[in-house]
Chains A and B, each alone.
Chain A
């Protein structure tokens, strides 16, 4: 386990931003961290990265609890914020060099590492450019290169592809997949659920400051799919099919949509197969028989849909000055 957050609570005044959040990430995972606005994602990320401490609970990164040996701990984390966080009056190589020295990497070692990272991100030809001259996509690539300067084990990214054009987003996603294959553990907070479902191996859905679902993405998707109705398409004999289905104890309800029957079926894969066999034996002309595919959007809306959406109206961590 590279990251473990246990029973994290964080209050902004009386507002409870995180209410007993539990999160665990296995080493090498590409973890999608999703939730509606104001769910507590950014607060959780700030706690993971050590920018903020929780009011209650513990955060363990690679076996080390935060607050114990922060210098060693920070070596393990690379952070890409939702804003670029760049100094426009520095050149690309100076910017990288500055952050390298913030991790105690200087001289030839830093130079070599910077060159390699800029090459990896495909921006080596921009090394002497001022950052203000870079496009949004380039800045985001630079931000990722900067986060990798000290070779962290865990990469934490807050909305990394926000505002990028489709091509840059595709390239960025590829880089993240490559990094994951290289053994880096990556946590991505994103609103783009299709992106999460394409890239990630694991997922955590946060709402109202606590985790409402987490696990392997394939397991989550399977679970979602198993809750969806079975769609049976028939070329004819719909009335006969309805009569047969009414006698089935696993069929809870059904509806008709043209030649399709939407069956609310509770049972195992074996039960599903038995039902199909029964329909065929009864001489029903079954054209197709399948579960409606689950999407991350559907589960996200199902899990996070509530009447009253909480939003952090103001974040006053500092003084009132």
Chain B
């Protein structure tokens, strides 16, 4: 099987780099610190009160996995925001276009290498997440499902980075636009949804639908489900949005993940189009 040359090169270069192992170490140190401090706090509380509150371990799990997600949200765009723009800055991008590589191969090579790093990062974080298993409450399957969702969400963040990288001349600019876009997805959509709910006087379908592309709500909903808070989203929906859209809420994770993946695919296709040399369609021809 022919390996994508860009994937091969990126993996080779990143395996030599000190920054990626340092990043993996940093993330793990942070997650373990939160886990251990939390666990020792719970144990100390047990010693003082002589009561066993095992649900506290579940809360630590929730905190750690949400922290991991926020770290992914912060790290992932920095990997892809320079994917194309850094090649432009190095003046190697034109060279790649003169080779037999297709623009789609350039984009997929970059995405695959960054995704593989994220998968390595997620696997390295598993021990910190598994602490909840010691006292039960979360199954291995649930943790595996969450990791799959994280990988898919990371793919969404990457595709945003790739898109802004393909339209920007500088990596700094691409990073700024990517972070701005992700902040909009995570918080802006929530604000818009609330505003729509207020304006329409109790919410409408659109104010709920816009939240489908919100990765933070999707992950929070899944984690809450794993922690036994199954009614979190439906309660919130019935409180904020006067109408209760049971169909939507019942399949929220699936619909939200698919919506975000669709958005990611569109951004990747747009990235490929952006970097492809193309003929200008002259306006006068359109009217002839």
A-side interface residues toward B, CB under 8 Å? 11, 46, 49-55, 67, 71, 74-75, 77, 79, 81, 83-87, 89-90, 94, 98-99, 101-104, 106, 150, 318-319, 321
From known contacts A83-B91, A85-B92, A98-B9, infer whether A319 and B98 are also in contact, taking CB-CB under 8 Å. no
As a 0/1 sequence over residues 70 to 81 of chain B, the CB contacts with chain A under 8 angstroms (1 = contact) are 000000000000
Which residue, A87, A90, A94, A102, has most C-beta atoms of chain B within 10 A?
A102
Which residue, B9, B12, B95, B101, has most C-beta atoms of chain A within 10 A?
B95
20 inter-chain pairs at a CB distance below 8 angstroms, sorted by A residue, are A49-B97, A51-B97, A51-B98, A55-B280, A71-B102, A75-B100, A79-B98, A83-B91, A84-B91, A85-B92, A85-B95, A86-B92, A89-B17, A90-B12, A99-B95, A102-B5, A104-B2, A318-B274, A319-B274, A321-B173
Q: How far is the CB of B95 from chain A (nearest CB, A)?
A: 4
How far is it, in angstroms, between the C-alpha of A66 and the C-alpha of B174 when the chains are bound?
Answer: 31
How far is it, in angstroms, between the C-alpha of A90 and the C-alpha of B5 when the chains are bound?
Answer: 13
Question: What residues of B have a CB within 8 angstroms of the CB of A89 in the complex?
Answer: 13, 16-17
From known contacts A49-B98, A321-B177, infer whether A98 and B16 are also in contact, taking CB-CB under 8 Å. no
Closest to A66 in B: B277
Assess whether A81 is in contact with B94, with CB atoms less than 8 Å apart.
yes
How far is it, in angstroms, between the C-alpha of A71 and the C-alpha of B2 when the chains are bound?
Answer: 16
Partner among B92, B94, B101 whose Cβ is within 8 Å of the Cβ of A51? B94
As a 0/1 sequence over residues 162 to 183 of chain B, the CB contacts with chain A under 8 angstroms (1 = contact) are 0010011100011001000000
How far is it, in angstroms, between the C-alpha of A94 and the C-alpha of B167 when the chains are bound?
Answer: 29
Q: How far is the CB of B33 from chain A (nearest CB, A)?
A: 32
Question: What residues of B have a CB within 8 angstroms of the CB of A84 in the complex?
Answer: 91
From known contacts A321-B167, A321-B173, infer whether A94 and B92 are also in contact, taking CB-CB under 8 Å. no
Whether, in the assembled complex, B278 has its beta carbon less than 8 Å from a beta carbon of chain A, the answer is: yes
Whether, in the assembled complex, B282 has its beta carbon less than 8 Å from a beta carbon of chain A, the answer is: yes
Assess whether A103 is in contact with B100, with CB atoms less than 8 Å apart.
yes
Assess whether A52 is in contact with B96, with CB atoms less than 8 Å apart.
no
Closest to B88 in A: A318
Question: What residues of B have a CB within 8 angstroms of the CB of A74 in the complex?
Answer: 98-100
How far is it, in angstroms, between the C-alpha of A102 and the C-alpha of B102 when the chains are bound?
Answer: 9
Whether, in the assembled complex, B8 has its beta carbon less than 8 Å from a beta carbon of chain A, the answer is: yes
Q: How far is the CB of B109 from chain A (nearest CB, A)?
A: 10
How far is it, in angstroms, between the C-alpha of A137 and the C-alpha of B52 when the chains are bound?
Answer: 73
Question: What residues of B have a CB within 8 angstroms of the CB of A81 in the complex?
Answer: 91, 94-95
Partner among B2, B13, B274 whose Cβ is within 8 Å of the Cβ of A106? B2
From known contacts A79-B95, A81-B91, A321-B168, infer whether A67 and B279 are also in contact, taking CB-CB under 8 Å. yes
How far is it, in angstroms, between the C-alpha of A94 and the C-alpha of B10 when the chains are bound?
Answer: 12
Whether, in the assembled complex, B90 has its beta carbon less than 8 Å from a beta carbon of chain A, the answer is: yes
In the complex, how many residue pairs between chain A and chain B have their CB atoms under 8 Å apart? 87
Q: How many residues of B contact A (CB 8 A)?
A: 34
Assess whether A51 is in contact with B277, with CB atoms less than 8 Å apart.
yes
How far is it, in angstroms, between the C-alpha of A161 and the C-alpha of B250 when the chains are bound?
Answer: 67
Closest to A53 in B: B279
Partner among B94, B100, B167, B277 whose Cβ is within 8 Å of the Cβ of A104? B100
How far is it, in angstroms, between the C-alpha of A142 and the C-alpha of B252 when the chains are bound?
Answer: 55
How far is it, in angstroms, between the C-alpha of A248 and the C-alpha of B135 when the chains are bound?
Answer: 115
Assess whether A53 is in contact with B5, with CB atoms less than 8 Å apart.
no
Closest to A54 in B: B279
Closest to A156 in B: B98
Q: How far is the CB of A75 from chain B (nearest CB, A)?
A: 6
How far is it, in angstroms, between the C-alpha of A94 and the C-alpha of B5 when the chains are bound?
Answer: 11
Partner among B9, B98, B167, B282 whose Cβ is within 8 Å of the Cβ of A318? B167
Which residue, B96, B100, B279, has most C-beta atoms of chain A within 10 A?
B100
Partner among B13, B100, B274, B282 whose Cβ is within 8 Å of the Cβ of A90? B13
Assess whether B5 is in contact with A101, with CB atoms less than 8 Å apart.
yes
Assess whether B278 is in contact with A87, with CB atoms less than 8 Å apart.
no
Q: Which of B1-42 contact A (CB under 8 A)?
A: 2-3, 5, 8-9, 12-13, 16-17
From known contacts A51-B277, A85-B90, A87-B92, infer whether A94 and B12 are also in contact, taking CB-CB under 8 Å. yes
Closest to A316 in B: B169
From known contacts A103-B100, A104-B100, A321-B177, infer whether A85 and B94 are also in contact, taking CB-CB under 8 Å. yes
Q: How far is the CB of A114 from chain B (nearest CB, A)?
A: 14
Question: What residues of B have a CB within 8 angstroms of the CB of A49 in the complex?
Answer: 94, 97-98
Question: What residues of B have a CB within 8 angstroms of the CB of A94 in the complex?
Answer: 9, 12
Q: How far is the CB of B103 from chain A (nearest CB, A)?
A: 10
Question: What residues of B have a CB within 8 angstroms of the CB of A52 in the complex?
Answer: 277
Question: What residues of A have a CB within 8 angstroms of the CB of B16 in the complex?
Answer: 89
Assess whether A98 is in contact with B5, with CB atoms less than 8 Å apart.
yes
How far is it, in angstroms, between the C-alpha of A262 and the C-alpha of B264 when the chains are bound?
Answer: 75
Q: How far is the CB of B16 from chain A (nearest CB, A)?
A: 7
